[in-house]
Structure formats: structure tokens, C-alpha cells
Amino acid sequence: MKHYIGIAGTHAKGSTNTKLINFIQKHLAGKAEVELVDVTNWPVFHKTENFALPAGVKEVADKIAAADGVIIATPEYDHSIPASLMNGLAWLSYGIHPFDNKPVMITGASYGALGTSRAQAHIRRILDAPEIHARTLSSSDFMVSRSLGAFDDEGNLTDAALVKRFDALFAEFEVLVEVVATLAEASRVAEADAEKLAHEG
């Protein structure tokens, strides 16, 4: 069973993105393990001497590096992602590279009718930055619009069609995870062969 890291872009009280990532964790139980981490409570990013990191950053980075992939649920603030999520990603790419070639599934919930399309487009660009270099599927964003009324009292999404869409997108994401893992293994084998030939030569 695959192991994923789940990140909510905000942990504000009543956050529907926290509800969304909790739903994903519960919904995927038995299919995949989703471990939730918080990246929104670190100090404001600033360059430090010798790339020193705030407490907790290295622990989260190690979990991301060891995971098969990452699932992020982001709100949309002013057509972008929250400052807290951007701040977390900045620390997670400062002298460390846990997202390098890591498959990331982008999801989000918004009070409005347009969902989180602009925020998801923005975070896709951030994840594509050389310092992060994550892997995402194009045109595969999962969005929950009018999110205040999207969950029942147990935290489940009430729209069956929306749940079906999530399942389809997650199936695509798992294909990406397998492809990335296969390519990484092929790269390791090629590097080992090249090193062996170098020694023999």
C-alpha cells in the first residue's frame, strides 16, 4: 500500500481544506495511507546562516522524501495560495529538496463557485520551480466549490459525482506515482552501470 503525505494549505479554524484533506485520508483508507503534516506554523521564511532550518522542517522534509507522493489541499486567497503554504514550501526548498521528482496531487476547496482554479495554477508553477522540482499531472486539479455546504456532519463530501471525480483523478495520480518510481529505478540502475564501467575502465 502506497504511503502519501497530506498537507492542508491552512489550519484556520473551520477550514474546509482541512476538512478536505481529512476526507481524503479517510476515503483512501484501505487503498493508501495518508499521513497528515502541518507546514503552516513555521516562522516567516528568511535566509539563515548555513541553511539552518526552523524546528520541525527537517522532520517534515524527511517524511516527504520517504513518501510515494504528496497530496495538497489549498484554499484560494486573492487568486493565489495562502502565505502560510507558500512559506512552508519556501522552507522545504531551502538547502533541502524533499520534493525533487516527487509526485504531487493538487486539490482545493473554496467558498465560491469558481473553486480554487487560480490558486492551483499558481501552486503548480511553484512546484515546477527548479528548487522544488515536483511532478504534477496537468489539467488534473480537484476542486470543491461552495465548500461551506459540501461536507456532512461526519466530514464526508455529499456530492457523489464529486467523489467519483476524485477517485478518477486519484487513479491517474497513482499511475504517475508508478511511472516516476519506474523512471527513478531505471536512473539508479544506469548510474550504477556507468560507475561500474568507469571503475573497470
Question: Nearest CA to 79 among 105, 116, 108?
Answer: 116
Share of the chain above pLDDT 70, in %: 93
Question: Nearest CA to 103 among 127, 84, 82, 87?
Answer: 127
The strand ranges marked E within the chain are 2-8, 32-37, 69-73, 104-109, 142-144
Q: What is the mean pLDDT of the chain?
A: 92
Whole-prediction pTM value? 0.92
Average confidence (pLDDT) over 100-113:
95
Question: Nearest CA to 200 among 158, 192, 22?
Answer: 192
Helix H, strand E, coil C: the string for 66-125 is HCCEEEEECCCECCECCHHHHHHHHHCCCCCCCCCCCEEEEEEECCCCCCCHHHHHHHHH
**Cα–Cα separations (whole angstroms), residue 125 to 48, 67, 72, 158, 187:** 25, 22, 14, 31, 25
Confidence bin at 197 (pLDDT 50/70/90): low
pLDDT for position 12: 85
Which amino acid, 80? S
Domains identified in the chain and CATH numbers: 2-200 (3.40.50.360)
Average confidence (pLDDT) over 7-32:
94
Confidence bin at 200 (pLDDT 50/70/90): low
End-to-end CA separation in angstroms for the chain: 42
Confidence bin at 187 (pLDDT 50/70/90): low
Find residue 4's DSSP bridge partners: 34, 69
Which amino acid, 6? G
User: Which set of grid coordinates corresponds to residue 165?
Assistant: 471525480
